[in-house]
């Protein structure tokens, strides 16, 4: 089964709108086989964007992904991230090479700066350029950068090649709708949402459950479908095959106007600018 929903990168390449996150995966040996099975099932079901980072479990998540994708690398759009402390020119290259070793691959489809810290963006951009020229990454992007940072980034030499901004976005965290999301749409930058169900906390809200019951869906599926309805890609984490199947159901769920209105009432959109939130 292939994903029925895709989202376009600035290059025009289409990727699955609903992918798989790996934060906290690979840290419990007792769950390893189940987590590998979940990732493989997700690929089977068309959730072929797999997102990880050198930070996750200090590389353990990347090692898990590398094992899960053995023999299936070409089916997946693989994403990882460089820690800000490594993000000078040479450090970015070295960090990527470490991720490639753990992931058992020769290239990443997308490499992100995990968040902005002490190194100038020019340094990280230079590292990304070196990696692209070496064929070790196909695209580069950023994570947790707000609209001011994005505007600065795109004024730098080569900065307008940014493909993705991956940010915290869900029904609880709608602040990007005021300025960052419109800015990215205008600039042609793809937005990717991490923690699209707020690490499960959203699922306890009664109003979300009521919408889900009316649609014959689960709260998880409604929360994920809502993100997709905004034209934003989602990368929910799941460590079990049952949860992967549930997540996949969001791809086929289209929310009617009355459901969207009910969600707006329960989770109001922003009425002014707010600082970018992070987890």
Residue 279: name the closest of 23, 19, 20 by CA: 23
Question: In this structure, what is the dihedral angle of CA atoms 45, 46, 52, 57, given to the nearest 10 degrees?
Answer: 0
SS3 21: strand
Q: Rounded CA gap, 124 and 105, in Å?
A: 22
pLDDT tens per residue across all 279 residues of the chain: 445 699 999 999 999 999 999 999 999 999 999 999 999 999 999 999 999 999 999 999 999 999 999 999 999 999 999 999 999 999 999 999 999 999 999 999 999 999 999 899 999 999 999 999 999 999 999 999 999 999 999 999 999 999 999 999 999 999 999 999 999 999 999 999 999 999 889 999 999 999 999 999 999 999 999 999 999 999 999 899 999 999 999 999 999 999 999 999 999 999 999 999 998
Of the candidates 254, 249, 255, the one whose C-alpha atom is nearest the C-alpha of residue 46 is: 249
Structural domains of the chain, ranges and CATH numbers in brackets:
12-266 (3.20.20.100)
Helix (H), strand (E) counts: the chain: 10, 10
Contact indicator for 247, 203 with CB cutoff of 8 Å = no
Please list, in sequence order, all residues whose beta carbon lies within 8 angstroms of the beta carbon of residue 264, skipping any fewer than 6 positions away.
none
């Amino acid at each position: 089964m292939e994903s029925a929903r895709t989202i376009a990168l600035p290059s025009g390449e289409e990727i699955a709108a609903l992918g798989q996150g790996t934060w906290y995966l690979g840290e419990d040996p007792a769950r390893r086989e189940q987590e590998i099975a979940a990732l493989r099932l997700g690929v089977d079901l068309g959730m072929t964007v797999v997102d990880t980072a050198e930070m996750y479990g200090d590389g353990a998540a990347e090692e898990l992904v590398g094992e899960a994708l053995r023999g299936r690398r070409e089916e997946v759009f693989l994403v990882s991230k460089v820690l800000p402390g490594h993000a000078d020119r040479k450090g970015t290259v070295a960090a990527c090479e470490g991720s490639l070793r753990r992931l058992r691959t020769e290239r990443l489809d997308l490499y992100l700066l995990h968040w902005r810290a002490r190194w100038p963006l020019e340094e990280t951009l230079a590292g990304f350029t070196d990696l692209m020229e070496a064929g070790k990454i196909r695209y580069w992007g950023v994570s947790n950068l707000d609209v001011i940072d994005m505007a600065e980034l795109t004024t730098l030499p080569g900065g307008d090649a940014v493909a993705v901004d991956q940010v915290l976005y869900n029904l609880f965290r709608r602040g990007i709708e005021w300025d960052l999301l419109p800015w990215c749409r205008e600039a042609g930058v793809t937005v990717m949402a991490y923690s699209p169900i707020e690490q499960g906390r959203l699922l306890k809200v009664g109003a979300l459950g009521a919408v889900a019951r009316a649609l014959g869906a689960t709260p998880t599926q409604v929360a994920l479908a809502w993100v997709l309805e905004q034209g934003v890609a989602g990368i929910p984490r799941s460590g079990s095959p049952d949860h992967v199947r549930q997540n996949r159901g969001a791809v086929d769920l289209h929310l009617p106007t009355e459901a969207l209105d009910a969600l707006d009432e329960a989770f109001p959109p922003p009425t002014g600018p707010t600082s970018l939130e992070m987890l």
